[in-house]
Amino acid sequence: MHNTVLVPIDMAHLKEGKSTIDIALQNAGESSQVILLNVIEDIPSWAAAQLPQGTIERSKQHARKELNSIAQSYSVPIEIDIRLGHTYKVILDVADEKEVDLIVIASHRPGFQDYYLGSTAAKVVRHANCSVHVVR
Ligand code: ADP
């Protein structure tokens, strides 16, 4: 069993996100901490200037609301965390910061692209300081 389990969730793929939460809970003990993390991808300031004002804040609120409602649908406490930055880097930073001992992450389906692991999953597997469970 793992004490602290991190589940990065892509808001565009909530269905696969829910499968990763199920696997995280199977690998978590009764007193373990399970954290759902969404990263709002940081964009250069010149590009941000083209967006309607408040776009990033609205994305954060949307992610918080969705993840809260997913977390509350489980009978165990689940923490949520929303951050801004580059996705794979934030996942690795949060894993170190919260002393995570397992990351549960989904990947592209085999044959979906030239690579068997999507870019985020591949970078997390390569650089994480803890165990990583890749769900396919
Ligand atoms: P990419 O589309 O960048 O190649 P992947 O297909 O590797 O990414 O994404 C796999 C997993 O990475 C997702 O299932 C999710 O766990 C995590 N992930 C992707 N984007 C985000 C995000 N914005 N916030 C949190 N986790 C994410």
- Tell me if 121 CB under 6 Å of ligand 1: yes
Class at the top of the CATH hierarchy for domain 2-110: alpha beta
Residue with tokens 């300031």: 45
- Assess whether pLDDT exceeds 60 at residue 114: no
Whether residue 110 is predicted with pLDDT greater than 80 in this model: the reply is no
Residue-wise pLDDT tens digits, 3-47: 999 999 999 998 888 999 999 999 998 889 999 999 999 888 888
Distance CA 38, CA 123 (A): 16
Q: Is the dihedral of CA 115, 98, 34, 64 positive or negative?
A: negative
Q: What is the pLDDT of residue 88?
A: 96
Give 3 Cα–ligand 1 centroid separation in angstroms: 23
pLDDT-based confidence at residue 113 (cuts at 50, 70, 90)? low
Give nearest CA residue, ligand 1 atom 2: 118
> How many angstroms does the Cα of residue 106 sit away from the middle of ligand 1?
7
pLDDT in tens, 51-94: 888 888 999 999 999 999 999 999 999 999 999 999 999 999 99
> What are the residue boundaries of the structural domains of the chain, listed by start?
2-110
User: What mean pLDDT comes out for the span 96-120?
Assistant: 79
Distance 117 CA to ligand 1 centre (A): 11
User: How many angstroms separate the Cα of 69 from the Cα of each of 4, 30, 77, 79, 106?
Assistant: 21, 21, 12, 11, 20
Whole-number Å distance between alpha carbons of 97 and 100: 8
Q: Which helix (H) or strand (E) holds 106?
A: strand 102-106
Neighbour count for residue 53 (Cβ, 10 Å): 9
93 lines ligand 1 (CB under 6 A): no
Q: What would the two tokens of residue 82 be?
A: 């929303």
**pLDDT band per the 50, 70, 90 thresholds, residue 112:** low
C-alpha angle 20/59/99, rounded to 5°?
Answer: 45
Closest ligand 1 atom to residue 117 Cα is 7
Position 59 scores a pLDDT of: 92
DSSP state of 74: S
